[in-house]
Structure 1
Amino acid sequence: MDCLPLHTLQTVFGFHAFRPFQEEIINRLMAGDDSFVLMPTGGGKSLCYQIPALHRHGVAIVVSPLISLMKDQVDALRENGVAAAAYNSSLGERDSRQLLARLHAGELDLLYVAPERLMNDSFLERLREIPVALFAIDEAHCVSQWGHDFRPEYVALGRLRGIFPGIPLIALTATADHQTRNDIMERLGLADAQVYITGFDRPNIRYTVMEKRKPFQQLQEFLGTRPDEAGIVYALSRKRVEEVASKLRELGIEAAPYHAGLADRERSRVQEAFLRDDIRVVVATVAFGMGIDKPNVRFVVHYDLPKNIESYYQETGRAGRDGLPAEALLLFGYGDIPISRSLIESGTNPEQVRIELHKLSAMIGFAEAGSCRRGALLGYFGQRLEEPCGNCDLCLDPPDSFDATEEARKALSCVYRVGQRFGAGHVIDVLRGSKNERIRQLGHDRLSTYGIGAHLAAEAWGSIIRQLIHRGYLQQDLANFSVLKLTPSALPLLRGEERLVLAKPRIKVAEAKKEPRRRGTVLNMEYNEDLFQSLRALRKRLADEQNVPPYVIFSDATLAEMAALRPLDSEALLKVNGVGVQKLGRYGAAFLEVIRQD
């Protein structure tokens, strides 16, 4: 394909402009250079390798961890007229032979494959015989032991760089802290790769934490305000998943359980029904979700406390992939903490247990945050939010605050005085003048900061230190026993050049005040809700006829834009984001007819 990437974006995929960094990443890959891409869910990672695949000679090999994810990607590409296929265990012997024949004949633009199948010696030999355009490692956090979903079969992918040194490789993920990023790049041999970090913020998601009181009643009330919306409810155990799903069905809500204890056929049925909008709510353990491309998930509820922020971020990120408003609700109860801790401590790898316990502490800190929830979430990944987001429970219903300048300076000074070599617990002990033996052995009872915080309880100091971490004054080195270290932002505060207001600890987390729901707008344009629902009904009918999920035809965001712009001819319809030439020819007349009849 000789046209420019922008032309491909517009005519094949139906989008009018690139998002930040996309064009640069695409051009780099087309030039044959490696890249590491960290981009939030729904940020357009797939286009970063799909467009180069259509411009470079040969087939693009895309590594994907799940058959369902491969199917979703392949279905969507085929709808856009792209020659794509998946090579996995779901294929019979005859279909496998036919696919490999197409591969050798040069008839494929993209081939999706699982890591263990790709690294099979016989398959690697096949690839040596044909032109390969590029390798794309999707869900690259699976490579790292620091990743929240480490998969041993991904480790072998580190051999690719040595086997195919001249072929560009791109690794992509939505979830990776500093340690995970470094580990991915080392394991995949990406020392010379350009790193692209577009940020972690998903501003369309509203984050809310509620004190867990009567969890099912709270869930019922939450769902009652969203009668037509699809969502996911995450629970910690299989038993709880089954119980919650059963109770929801008794209330007449289309819900189904999903966990690793179910038969493969049943899990596939539930996932397929959810993707096709036949099931409204999936109640699941963490076994459900990776690679769920369904863009119109409007909410994610955590019935129990997640084990780490990475999981929480990725799971909540399954809401609102289309950019429309979405909600993430966490029911936080202190009784969940010992359960999560015991599950972690049952592990057999002491180093992994230590890592996971530190990550659990960070998750608890997020749930207890006293200032902007989004700021705390982004701060964990090293991204600072300059202003409160205005779209979380703590921004909409702020806790009481106090001038914490002096307390903050004491805490920061103590971190410095102990050599920036200890975690929060030890710093708090020094501040409060603890007489434990370790402090005396280290000589920390002779520091100028010893005992200067005796007037506050340990819980209050814990809240202050967590907020200093969230605000970017301190960083917590999880790879090194959660040692606290000062950031450059701490210096003006220590010098007395600025004041700091923090939130008073609030154990009971109030429900955010309800504001009018942001319905009926897309890209700052108002749209007709009745027309939108008519377009959804048409999409569902066409999807059932084509035997594909509805969003593969058009996303909710595309339908909403149609309902806002009301295009009356093909030329106008082609200006709607998500409508490419292939889809215009296949579906344009049907959607235009509904719009004209409105």
Structure 2
Amino acid sequence: DGKEGICIAFYSYKDILKLEKFMQGKPVAEQEIGKQLLQETVAYAESNQCRRKLLLNYFGENYDKDNCGACDNCLHPKKQFDGQEEMCLVIELIQSVPEHFKMEHLANILSGTTNALIKSYNHDRLELFGAGSDHTVKFWCAVIHQGLILHLLDKEIESYGLISVTEKGLEFFNSPYPLMLTEEREFVEGEDDDDDTYGAAANRGGGGGDTMLLSMLKDLRKSVAKRLGLQQWVVFSDASLEDMSIMYPVTYDELKNCQGVGEGKAHKFGREFIELIGKYVQENEIDRPDDFIVKSTVNKSANKVFIIQNIDRKLSLDDIADARSLDMEELLDEIEAIVYSGTKLDIDYYIQENIDDDTVQDIYDYFKEDAESDSLQDAMEELGPDYDERDVRLVRIKFLCEVAN
């Protein structure tokens, strides 16, 4: 009709978390592509840059104007700073590592944030690790993202978003010049931007999970646990209930797709929960997700199949570890992953041979009567230094298999 059009984006990071949940259990390649798309969505929603420039860049086009005069960020520009030094630091880091890495990994290195991936590559020993520790991971992600927009950096889509330096980026690094970057947005959930013409609407629900349903599920868990004389976490963990509040499972097969719920736990504790969810869905006319993840009972890696088969044959755990070139801690990690996926394992034969009966009983009683969660750290603090951590892990596995699964 020739009149002005207005586009308003409703954004909540909880929705991103919900979509990440739905990707669990899908093939790795599909998960990587999905995560990359979600990261692009977050970057667009939380960016302070010109939205027209961001959109055109995403589709491989350039927009040379500094201000489009139409989007919220151009109508109400945020504070800028000279990012010459920061961009040089990013480029120096990318050149100093022999392989390419994703944006968040590079940001973690610069901010000095340690995680398993950082340690596995020994990147916590890099000279540049923590070189930008006066800034947050989010700040460095914003710098890298603006480097992509300015074509100083490049993202390899075919390689799931690995970051490299362009020829223009190398020229900038060799002959730096003032580079005005926009400070990252301090995005607060549910807050309206006071200086926006139209404003970002506050979140009105539909976040990571259905809070009303989650509250009802927690009440039901409390009553079930009390009736059965169990700790609440034994029935279903908080993570399991949160998944239920997102996926609305109404059958045993759908319930098994929730985190930490296997065949045994679903049938042992699940009936009242799926009945409650089914009634809630019907009464509130809720559209349930139709893309349920098909999750196998256990990840059929060679190690896991080997471990399950040989525990069934009552082979010593030490021999199983040796056969797969694992130390005992690594083997226990594998066994715990199997058990937490819902598979029962009988390791009584090994426990009886290696741990004193009184010790077993003390640890078992702790998890049955006193523990507020399955936390190993909490267990060690409560039980004290007289108890070996490996023994506690073994008895915890026994308890989970006998009571929880």
Q: Hey, which of these two has a bigger chunk of strand by percent?
A: 1
What interval of TM-score do these two structures reach, taking the shorter chain for normalisation?
A: 0.3 to 0.5
Per the normalisation by structure 2, the TM-score is: 0.43
